[in-house]
Amino acid sequence: MKRKSLVSATAVFLIIAFTSIGALAITKTSTIRVDGMKCSKCSGSVEKALKATPGVEKVEISLDRKEAVVEYDDQKVTEAKLREVINATGFKAVEAKPDSQ
């Protein structure tokens, strides 16, 4: 009986612990202006490189607004790293505006 209670208590503790860890992982959205991104044939590289970055969940590229809207897990990747990834594709990430937290 005592052992059963201990197992139940452990299970409850683990559920709470995992739920808390999940709650800490916040999906952040950043809109990053990408200078020089005007060619539809070559802008795919920005999306490809961002999507291959661990922690990035969603990427939307707008050629009209010359920007990348990136949803990411800020526990795994930073906004600065996202700009680095964009710069490595030959374009220039000029600023990042946090939309939500």
Of 6, 9, 11, 42, which one interacts with another protein (CB under 8 A)?
Answer: 42
Nearer to another protein, 23 or 52 (CB): 52
Cβ 46 vs Cβ 25: under 8 Å: no
The least CB distance from residue 100 to another protein, in Å, is 28
Of 14, 25, 36, 80, which one interacts with another protein (CB under 8 A)?
Answer: 36
SS3 of 25-52: the string is CCEEEEEEEEECCCCCCCCHHHHHHHHC
**Residue 60, phi-psi category: left (phi > 0), alpha (psi -120 to 50), beta (remainder):** beta
Nearer to another protein, 11 or 88 (CB): 88
Of 4, 23, 52, 100, which one interacts with another protein (CB under 8 A)?
Answer: 52
Rounded CA-CA distance 101/28 in Å is 5
Q: Determine, following the binding rule CB under 8 A, whether residue 49 of this chain makes contact with another protein.
A: yes
Q: Determine, following the binding rule CB under 8 A, whether residue 54 of this chain makes contact with another protein.
A: no
List residues binding another protein (CB under 8 A): 36-37, 39, 41-42, 44-49, 52, 88-91
